[in-house]
Amino acid sequence: MAISGTAAAPSLPVLDRAVERPVPTRLGSILKFCRRNPLVMVGAAVVLAWIVVSVCAPLITPYGPLTQRVAERLRPPSPQHLFGTDALGRDIFSRVAYGGRISLPVGFVVVLVALGVGGVLGAVAGFGPGWLDGALMRFTEMVMGFPIIILAMTIAAALGAGLEHTMIALVAVSWPRYARVTRGLVLSVKENEYVFASRAMGGSEVHLLSRVVLPNCLAPAVVMATLDLGVAILTFAGLSFLGLGSPPPAPEWGAMVAQGTENFDQWWVSAFPGAAILTLVMAFNFIGDGVRDALDPRLRRSL
């Protein structure tokens, strides 16, 4: 006997839809790790505070950085002059706040340019033919054979005192480290199977270097650049201390410390600019150490 009608399909159990969780990205994991590191947070807060002070200097300073009041010269810290005054009666707090407008941009520009120049030369050396690798690395080692501060002083003195010339000198002594590190990373990465696979699929050498190899070499270079921000600011302050940085009367921290050496009894003339250099350099070191630890998978077990 035939059964009329269509047989009902067996009912399937209704499953609760799982709540989708966002997949943590590499950047998100790094930021999460840094937030758990108190030194990174302290460093970031100090850098952010100096950026705010530098940007808002015209709003928070009671005097101009070049305003002279000779009658109030070498006054100690007071409510009228929070950091005291220098030998020309200029308010040191105002000059320190405006000094961040010089030191911070110099540090960032020098590191970015040195990273670009050194990274390109190191990548070309590691990915190019052997003769080119040898020539570039011998030149790099020749530059690295000189003490950084001595070579920077020589270049800055040859070009003449000035902010632009000092930045050129800093870039000239900073790029070799990035070149050597990038070359070593490229030599290691280019032997991986995915590089051979991309080459077998018809990828050009330029495509392989720019799209396959270099993106896998960025992490160590970023860590080095973060740490070098403090080094660049400190070296720039050292050159300015020697009279090879921004020409007077620019409110540059290193030059202000040098002026304070002429008045040892008035400690505030050099103490506050020196404290600005110290806090900013230490802050970048804290951030660099945290970024380095965050990029090390062995130190991110909790993520």
Residues 6+ apart with CB under 8 A from 258: 240, 241, 242, 243, 270
Look at residue 124 and tell me whether its pLDDT is greater than 50.
Answer: yes
Check if the beta carbon of residue 152 is closer than 8 Å to that of residue 110: no
**Is residue 16 domain-resident?**
no
- Highest-pLDDT range among 136-140, 188-192, 298-302: 136-140
How high is the pLDDT of residue 190?
A: 78
Is 26 contained in some domain? no
Residue 230 included in any domain:
yes
Q: Are 109 and 225 contacting, i.e. CB atoms less than 8 angstroms apart?
A: no
In the chain, the number of structural domains is: 1
CA angle 210, 216, 220 (to 5 degrees): 115
104 near 112, Cβ under 8 Å? Answer: no
pLDDT value for 199: 73
The residue-averaged pLDDT of 225-237 equals: 91
Candidate from 84-93, 103-112, 246-255 with smallest mean pLDDT: 246-255
Residue 77 makes CB contacts below 8 A (sequence gap 6+) with 83, 84, 268
Residue listed under structure tokens 């970023």: 222
CATH code for the domain in which residue 245 is found: 1.10.3720.10
In 44-180, at which residue ranges do the beta strands (DSSP E only) sit? none
Q: Which residues lie closer than 8 Å to 200 by C-beta, 6 or more apart?
A: none
Residues 208-221: tens digit of each pLDDT: 777 777 787 877 88
Q: Give the C-alpha separation, 103 to 233, whole Å.
A: 6
pLDDT tens-digit series, residues 164-214: 999 999 999 999 999 998 888 888 887 777 777 777 777 676 777 777 777
Query: Is residue 146 assigned to a domain?
Result: yes
Are 163 and 246 in contact by the 8 Å Cβ rule? The answer is yes
Burial level of 154, CB count in 10 A (0-12/13-18/19+)? middle
Please give the residue range of the domain that contains residue 48.
Answer: 36-67+85-299
Range name among 128-132, 192-196, 250-254 with the lowest pLDDT average:
192-196
